Homo-oligomer: A and B are copies of this chain.
Amino acid sequence: MASKEQSKCAVIGASGYAGEELVRLLLAHPLAELVQVTSRQSVGKRLDQVFPRFAHQRKTLIFTDSDSESVLGNANIVFLALPHGVSAERAKAFLDGGVRVIDLSADFRLGNAETYREFYAKDHPAPDLLKRAVYGLPEVYHQKIADADLVACPGCYPTSILLPLLPLIREKLIDPTDITVASLSGVTGAGRKVEADYLFAECNESARPYGVPKHRHLSEIEQEVRRVTKTELVIQFVPHLVPMNRGIISTIFLRPAADVDEKETEAVYNDAYRTEPFVRLLGSRLPDTKNVIGTNFIDISWKLDPRTGRLIVMSAIDNLVKGTSGQAIQCLNLMCGYPETAGLL
C-alpha cells in the first residue's frame, strides 16, 4: 500500500503538546507536507499565534475546525491528536473518505472493547474498527504498520516498557508473571491540561506517585505481553510525576530464568534491535532522560543483581517524541515507504 509520493498530512486537534510536537516534526519533514491543522478552540488563528515558536514559518497555516469534510479534500494522512473517546468517533469518517489515520489517543490500542470499557470506564464508540487497527510500535509491527490504514500509536509508558520487555519475554529469559515497573515522567505526559494539579508551583519541587494501582496504560502493556505469552498475566506498574518538561524513565524489575546473565541478555537485545535505528543499547551504562530529549531514541540498560537474582532493565525516552509524536512520524514513514528515519534524525 506504500507509495513514495509526498504525503499530505493534517493534524486534527493540534493545540495540545502531542499536536504541537507533530507540527514541529512535520514542518521539518523532508517528504511529508503539513497541509492542515485543526483545533476547535483555535479556529481562525494562525499557527504562530497559537505556537509562537513557529513564528518563522513563511507558509501560513490557519487553524480550521476539525470537521472531516474540510480535511478530506486536502490530506491523505490524518493524525488524530484528540482526547480518548473523541478519536474513535472521528476516525470512521476519515477512513471512509479514503484517508489513512494515525491515532495518538488510546482509542484503538486495545483489540478488545471489553478491556477498553474496564480501563476507560465507557463503551468503545467504534468497536468494529478495533480489528482494523494496528498497534503502532514499529520495532514490533514493522510490516503491519506499513500496510495499515489505521494505526494506534502506543502510550508513552507502554513504549518505554514494552521495547525493553518484549525481546526478553519472546526469548523466555524472564518470568512474565513477575514483572514490576516503576516509571518517572515529566509533566507534559499529562497533556496540556489546564488543571490546578499541573500548575508550575504544584509540580516544581514535587515528586509524586499517581494512578496507583491501575493506571490505564496497563491495559495495553498487558495486551502486548500476552500476545507473546498467550497466557493471562498482570503486571505491577506505578508511575511518578517529576518536575521536568519531558522524559520518561522506566525501571523494570524482572525474575530471570535460571542461568540468564548479562551477556545472554545483551545477545537477545542485539538480535532484536541491532538494526533498529531508534533503539540504543547501553548495556550497564545507566540511562538519563537528558540524553534522549528532543529525539526519537529509546535508551535501554540492564544489570543483573547478584544479591537478589533479579534482572533490572531501565529505559529512557522523550515522552513527546518516541513516546508519542515521533513514533507517529516513524509510523508515517513506514506507511508511506519513506526511510524509517526521515524527519527524525
Partner-B contacts on A (CB < 8 A): 17, 28, 52-53, 55-56, 180, 182, 184, 186-188, 192-196, 198-210, 212-214, 234-236, 238, 240, 242-247, 249, 251, 253, 277, 280, 282, 285-295, 297, 299, 303-308, 310, 312, 314, 316, 345
Contact = CB atoms under 8 A, between A and B. Distances in A.
The secondary-structure label for the interface of chain A is loop
B209 A314 contact: yes
Given A194-B199, A203-B200, A243-B242, A212 B314 contact: yes
Given A242-B207, A280-B56, A307-B234, A312 B213 contact: yes
A214 B307 contact: yes
B55 A307 contact: no
Q: How many copies does the complex hold?
A: 4
B249 A207 contact: yes
A307 to B, nearest CB: 5
Contacts of A291: 52-53, 55
Contacts of A287: 208-209
Given A251-B182, A253-B236, A245 B289 contact: no
B201 A199 contact: no
B56 A206 contact: no
Given A205-B293, A206-B244, 12 more contacts: A53-B292, A182-B238, A194-B199, A200-B200, A200-B204, A205-B245, A205-B289, A207-B244, A208-B289, A212-B303, A213-B303, A242-B244
